[in-house]
Amino acid sequence: MYFDYYMSYYLMIPAIILSIWASAKVNSNYSRYSKIPNSSGMTGGECAKRLLDANGINDVSIEVTGGKLTDHYDPSKKVVRLSEEVYHGSSVASVSIASHELGHVLQHEKGYAPLVIRNSIVPIVNFSTSASWFFIVLGLVFSFSHLVNIGIILFSACVVFQLITLPVEFNASRRALDMLTECNIVSSGEITGSKKVLSAAAMTYVAALLTSILQLLRLVLISRDN
């Protein structure tokens, strides 16, 4: 049982290493390709507008949001929010990230199943993830295994969410690369840079999934030890 307890901590080492590497890769590629202008001269904001028009979408707005790499699509309000550097920048990185968010818009418009499922379980996942730690801590403090097991089951929702997120993000990047070439926003030589930017970003989601899986296994081992 003591083996389970100590092993539960060692399990997190691969996830920590992968997370640090993925984060460094994102920052490295973004920093590199944010200095390289795209051949069309478009900013991220102009790219997003161009792609909306090209796909006949006129009910989605584009806004500027604060922070770095905070770009996202809000399906509930049908708003693409781009960070200032991406919105105003005319680099390969800027249009790559903007087009990735437009990939999510297309998923939403076409009813892409993994995205629909992910969006529908967000409230459940938010609640279950928060509640899981309440049950786990309470169960460990009072040595009540049933409470710990309830917490572990609730935390499993986080793993499911991260698992569904992977195809959503990879598919959005594939759509982004297709749109960038079809609309001549980047040249054939620049598409390699776009792939590197989007691939590095995708690895952060792989790291998040691995972290969730190992955290779940860690909780199981701690429960057994307790």
Helix (H, G, I), strand (E, B) or coil at 60: coil
Where are any strands of DSSP class E within 110-223? none
* Distance between CA atoms of residues 162 and 218, nearest Å: 17
Q: Find, among 203, 212, 109, 202, the residue nearest to 157 by Cα.
A: 212
Set 63, 84, 85, 101: catalytic member: 101
Whether residue 85 lies in the annotated active site: no
Amino acid code (one letter) for 128: S
Q: Find, among 63, 65, 61, 66, the residue nearest to 78 by Cα.
A: 61
* Distance between CA atoms of residues 85 and 106, nearest Å: 23
* Distance between CA atoms of residues 135 and 153, nearest Å: 10
Where are any strands of DSSP class E within the chain? 61-65, 72-74, 79-83
Q: Which residues are catalytic?
A: 101
